[in-house]
Structure 1
Amino acid sequence: MTVVKRCATLEDAYMIKNLLESGGVGADILDEATASTAPYLLISSGIRVTVADEDADAAREILGLPAEPEAPVRTSGGIPWLAVLIAGIALVTLISYARQDRHPADPQKIDEDRNGDGKSDLRTTYDDSNRPVLTLVDDNFDGRWDTRVEYENGIESKATSDLDHDGTFDSDIRYNQGVPSTELVTPGGEGNPLFRKVFKNGVLESRWEDADRDGAWDQRIDFDAMGRELGKTSLK
């Protein structure tokens, strides 16, 4: 299998998977379980969306990504996971230390270089009470911010993402007390949305689809509390 996308959030990974499958390419979220139970372990690596090796070029074309391949993923062996665990714990510790010991005169901002290229690809700004105000993420390390997370009183309130890296934000997630409540996906950032997701207690409850983007939903797909599809309802 080949990694075609690394996402900052599980919601983004689901959307990339849906976009690929709607284009006829099967996809999997390799880190789905870890992202649900211990997301801090994936701060450095991101949540990986994979496809079969033979579908990699088609997947990149759907997502508007360069044709350069990424090395195939190893799904077994303890050393890579141990490295991720150590890196995740070290990074969380470093951030906590920086937030606690920062002098009031220092800038209320932390930049991180996750891939070691000397450029910031994760930036978080804090208020005077050391609560996060804004997080910016460069998902594909191209020098442009792809994900923007806004906070109210230190709790996530809104996240926007450029899923296909075309310079416009396609995904708009709204939170209720830090828990996802709705998401709209509008390819290209203009016109009517293609998808609308509704979450209950942070778990996907339904997905509304408008395939022709005429402003009227074509169908609704319902899911159970485990995220499994229950059925589809035609709305036209």
Structure 2
Amino acid sequence: MKTKNFSALITTIAIVLGFLIYWREYATRDQVTLIHVLLWQILIWAPWILMFLVFKMLVEKVKSIKYGRVLTVAIGFLWIAMHFGWFFMVSSTISPYVDLPGSKFGVYRYFFVFWTLIDFGILWFVVDKLRWRKEEKANTPLLFELTRGGKKHFCEPSQIHWLAAENYYTKLFTTEGMFVMRKPLKSFLDVLPGDSFKKIHRSTIINVNFVSELARGTGSTLDVIMKDGTKRRVSKSFVKDIIHFFKDRTN
């Protein structure tokens, strides 16, 4: 699921809730404007867009870790608790229903039921949707159409040794040699099998099946030695992840 689609979903939820709340509290319409209610709701739900980006990264990071799914859900519950804190803070300051009879913290009691159910519903939807997308890609045959010297070559992911970013292009080093595609490196992460391809640097993705050695450099640096002898430096932010990944793969 794309971020812009999720943003549209959250905006729709906020607007629909705004209309429902405004319609439900008909007795206060002379004191409250619809625009104020809608803006309040959009501000309440907007943080979910940022959390969606966190979940996209999280699902990719923990899917190879034992109990990774449990960890993802646990973080989701923590986020819901934080979202309630945000809800109380925003509602008690800018809610159009602040100080109106029957409201507390700018909300009415039934609001809590709606927000709780929607929060848990969105959490389930996000985790399930992202996991389903990953599993779907893993089960879908993938073939890259590459060109070199006016000839077309068809390459499976299993034939790719590693990929390197170069400006707006990506170099693919394969069993059939090196090819260049006019695509950014990050676009390959969305389609390559996550259990075989790991990002080790902002400009490098490797096929772990073609790694022959992990070599410690000076200090805390780490190099990946490919089976063809190529040495690629692992960025500091990826060192722990790469070490743990290969440790889990070995007996």
Tell me the TM-score normalized by structure 2: 0.25
Rg larger in structure: 2
Structure with the largest fraction of helix: 2
Tell me the TM-score normalized by structure 1: 0.27
Structure with the largest fraction of strand: 1
